[in-house]
């Protein structure tokens, strides 16, 4: 079998066209979505991610600012900055780029963000809502994955879904979303015994670990849909996923490439979350305007 490529770049371009229409519609309602990205320090990968996000917003004619803060900033100073952004009515979405320097407790900072402005969906109120099956702001990467599966026409009802990786930002929320869609979900972590026995059962396999090419073709069920979230920068500068693409594509029915798979979807969903946050913070809070996928 030669798997269909799930082209995240192409899908995100299609979504962007819908977003342009929505942005014009919102202008007519006096709603101006805006994002503030807080970047602490000079981590090279973070700089690239933040620049890409900022560009996406600017390309759509949306307000976006990068709040650059020194790497030796204290936790108290950063919390003060978050508070100022919470209180600024022009700021509709706040994203704190992770990782943060070691003197700062990331969770404390995330919990300080006004949950209505938490466009990453990491605040415990948003995480709790997802846990209760009443999602409000859903983390961007899992939301993008669900959109990809929907676009591929994947029937999740009764499907065996296996998620490798159990982080708060990808593994756990995607597992909850898959379960909500009717899949039977297994979550694997670093202590999982015989990983292959789990991955081989998966009709839908989502891998979010951060270990280049750890999932080989012989660990995948014939005809599975494989979503590779991993982004690993190799010594030659190239990006690789957590799935060994060449062997996996011989077995899978459909697979996301790295780069050009989940990554572009994550940024598109950040725009979706920011637009929806802006609608809900507007005086009318007209829910009929919300983007729904």
Residues that bind ligand NDP (CB under 6 A): 141, 164-167, 169-171, 188-192, 195, 208-211, 229-232, 262-263, 266
Between 164 and 183, CB nearer to ligand NDP = 164
Q: Which of 22, 118, 120, 228 is catalytic?
A: 120
In the complex with ligand NDP, which residue's Cβ is closer, 45 or 285? 45
Q: How far is CA 47 from CA 39, 53, 141, 167, in A?
A: 8, 10, 18, 22
Angle at 204 between CA 203 and CA 207, to 5 degrees: 135
- Residues across the chain: 293
Read off the DSSP letter of residue 139.
Answer: P
For ligand NDP, the closer of residues 91 and 176 by Cβ is: 176
For residue 84, the SS3 value is helix
- Phi/psi at 249 (nearest 5 deg)? -70, -15
Please confirm, yes or no, whether 120 is among the known catalytic residues.
yes
Q: Say whether 53 is catalytic.
A: yes
Least CB distance from residue 164 to ligand NDP, whole Å? 5
| Residue indicated by tokens 């999740």 | 156
Residue of 97, 118, 228, 240 with catalytic role: 97
Note whether 165 and 196 are within 8 A (CB): no
Rounded to a whole number of angstroms, the minimum distance from the CB of residue 245 to ligand NDP is: 14
Q: Are strands 34-40 and 93-96 parallel, antiparallel or unpaired?
A: parallel
Q: Which residues, in sequence order, are CB contacts of 191 under 8 Å at separation 6+?
A: none
Minimal distance in Å, beta carbon 205 to ligand NDP? 12
Q: Which is nearer to ligand NDP, 64 or 122 (CB)?
A: 122
Which residues, including other chains, have CB under 8 Å from residue 90's CB and lie 6 or more apart?
32, 34, 63
Q: Let me know if 152 is a catalytic residue.
A: no
Q: How far is the CB of 65 from ligand NDP (least distance, A)?
A: 21
For the annotated catalytic residues, the residue numbers are 53, 97, 120
């Amino acid at each position: 079998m030669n798997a269909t490529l799930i082209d995240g770049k192409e899908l995100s371009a299609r979504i962007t066209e819908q977003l342009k229409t929505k942005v014009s519609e919102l202008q007519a309602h006096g709603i101006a979505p805006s994002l503030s990205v807080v970047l602490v320090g000079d981590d090279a990968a973070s700089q690239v991610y933040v620049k890409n996000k900022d560009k996406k917003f600017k390309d759509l004619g949306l307000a976006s600012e990068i709040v650059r803060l020194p790497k030796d900033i204290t936790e108290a100073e950063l919390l003060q900055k978050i508070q100022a952004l919470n209180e600024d009515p022009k700021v509709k979405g706040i994203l704190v780029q992770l990782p943060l320097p070691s003197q700062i407790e990331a969770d404390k900072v995330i919990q300080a963000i006004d949950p209505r402005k938490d466009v990453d969906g990491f605040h415990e109120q948003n995480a709790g809502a997802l846990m209760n099956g009443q999602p409000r702001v859903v983390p961007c990467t899992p939301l993008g994955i669900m959109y990809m599966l929907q676009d591929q026409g994947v029937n999740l009802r009764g499907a065996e879904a296996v998620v490798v990786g159990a982080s708060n930002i990808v593994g756990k929320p995607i597992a909850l979303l898959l379960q909500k869609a009717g899949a039977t979900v297994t979550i694997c972590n670093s202590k999982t015994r015989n990983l292959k026995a789990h991955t081989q059962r998966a009709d839908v396999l989502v891998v979010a670990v951060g270990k280049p090419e750890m999932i080989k073709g012989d660990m995948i069920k014939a005809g599975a849909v494989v979503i590779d979230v991993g982004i690993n920068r190799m010594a030659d500068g190239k990006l690789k996923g957590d799935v060994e693409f060449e062997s996996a594509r011989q077995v899978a029915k459909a697979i996301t490439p790295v780069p050009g798979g989940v990554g572009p979807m994550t940024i598109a969903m950040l725009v979706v979350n920011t637009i929806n946050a802006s609608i809900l913070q507007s005086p009318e809070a007209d829910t009929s305007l919300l983007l729904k996928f």
